[in-house]
Amino acid sequence: MTHDTAPHDRPSSNAAPYRWWRDLTRYHWFVLAVAALGWLFDCLDQQLFTLARVPAMTELLRVGETPASPGDVARYGGYATSIFLLGWATGGLFFGVLGDKIGRARTMLWTILLYSLCTGLSALSKGFADFAFYRFITGLGVGGEFAVGVALVAEVMPDRARPYAIGLLQALSAVGNISAALINIGLGELEHVGMSRWRIMFLIGALPALLAVVIRARLKEPERWTQVATSGPGGGRQLGSYGTLFSHPVWRRRAFAGLGLAVAGVVGLWGIGFFTPDLLRLVLTKSFTAEGMSPPEVAKHLFRWTGIALIVQNVAGFLGIYSFGVLSQRIGRRPTFAITFVGALLATVLVFSTLETRRQIFWMIPMMGFFQFALFGGYAIYFPELFPTSIRSTGVSFCYNVGRFIAATGPTLLGLLTSVAFREKPEPMRYAGVTMCAVFLLGLAVLPFAPETRGTPLPEEDRGLVH
């Protein structure tokens, strides 16, 4: 009987604590900084969209002086999010293969340029159709950046430091989310602006294009990738091949296990967690109106409180992501995933079923953010450990981005549950969100089929790994 596992490196209980950062050179830190900034700005774009979704739909769906109905705003907001995720998935699959074929650094350059420029173009939207088009193209770049970035860091870092460095990379994505929240709060405090606040948010999202200049000037391809790209008969082996991924039984099994894990977390975050601002708008509008605030005052306070909620969610998310890396080094990847899926299920049900007051924002939403974001720390660490160098970016992209194709149904389903299935219920989004939480059970169901990779080197074809 064979197993898709390898021996673990178990440190002695008397060993001194491992300080991973001491193994990093100046260039290691440069690579980590560039990859972290690319992913940070990527997440800034995602959160700007999350915060701008309701105001954008409210304006773009207005017909003359007739305002859009709440049901249309919810439904088309779900459509826009699903279209963005479809672009993300498409771009991830395409750029994931390209990252294996032409190199990590070069591909990262193109993905950052694409998502930055098209985020800026979103500010020029005249209606839902062109807004959705820009979001789809933005998604192409956003989707490609993740797989290329984590493959780059995984291949450059020393083996022992790799999980910690990737965990920090993913945790720093929360800084992008928090930056979006601060932008949201700052714009909400302005009395008079020359255009809609959501349009300004998207213009700010175009600034990360400047990072491409740094990438072009200094970032080199990983030696591990260069050696594989130039080895074998004819000067190079087949790189970035889905045929290679699916023809090998080990890589194929790992790809589908990773896919199942990704679907659960992506639907949980993008189909439920990132609709928390929408839930808060419903809850807080009722509260502010009852306090006698005028509509302009209500709008101003909504910007402030949705921003505050996003900040506390992402501060907790930062801690969750990094904690996943630390805990998974102690007890293994699979047990840590199991704990995190259960925590995400319980915390998300709690938020969508019971959140009522501003005070609850400061403990319920951080709890949900900790577990939901922790899963993505797991993906960043775990997925590169499943595949060899020649198909590492391809394999990570398959797990993460085919997962997004499936997960793209999540926001649309939430919108339909809210506007159709539970429309007769008071605050139907609560019922829709709690129903959607069943997706976290999928992650638990997949775990028995996923290999444990703690303490193992990155796999390679020539190491004879056949299970």
Q: Give the chain's mean pLDDT.
A: 85
pLDDT(412) > 60: yes
Dist. CA 169–CA 148, nearest whole Å: 13
Rounded Cα gap, residues 183 and 119, in angstroms: 15
Sequence letter at residue 196: S
Q: Residue 271 is encoded by which pair of tokens?
A: 């189909």
- Tell me, what's the pLDDT at 8? 43
| Separation between Cα atoms, residue 216 and residue 106, nearest integer Å | 8
Q: What does the pLDDT look like over 148-205, one tens digit per residue?
A: 888 888 889 988 888 888 888 888 888 888 888 888 888 877 766 678 889 999 999 8
Domain ranges of the chain: 24-225+239-463
* pLDDT greater than 70 at residue 464: no
- CATH H superfamily, domain 24-225+239-463: MFS general substrate transporter like domains (1.20.1250.20)
In this prediction, residue 366 carries a pLDDT of 96
Residue with tokens 């979001």: 135
What pLDDT is attached to residue 6? 40
Enumerate residues 6+ apart whose C-beta is below 8 A from 46. 142, 176, 177, 180, 274
Residue 466 banded pLDDT, cuts 50, 70, 90: very low
Q: How confident is the model at residue 465 (pLDDT cuts 50, 70, 90)?
A: very low
What mean pLDDT do residues 228-243 have? 65
Tell me how far apart the alpha carbons of residues 419 and 428 are, in angstroms, rounded to a whole number: 7
Kindly state the tokens that stand for 415.
Answer: 């919108």
Task: Quickly state the pLDDT bin for 16 (edges 50, 70, 90).
Answer: low
* Bridge partner residues of 63 (DSSP): 66
Q: Is 190 exposed, middle or buried (0-12, 13-18, 19+ CB in 10 A)?
A: exposed
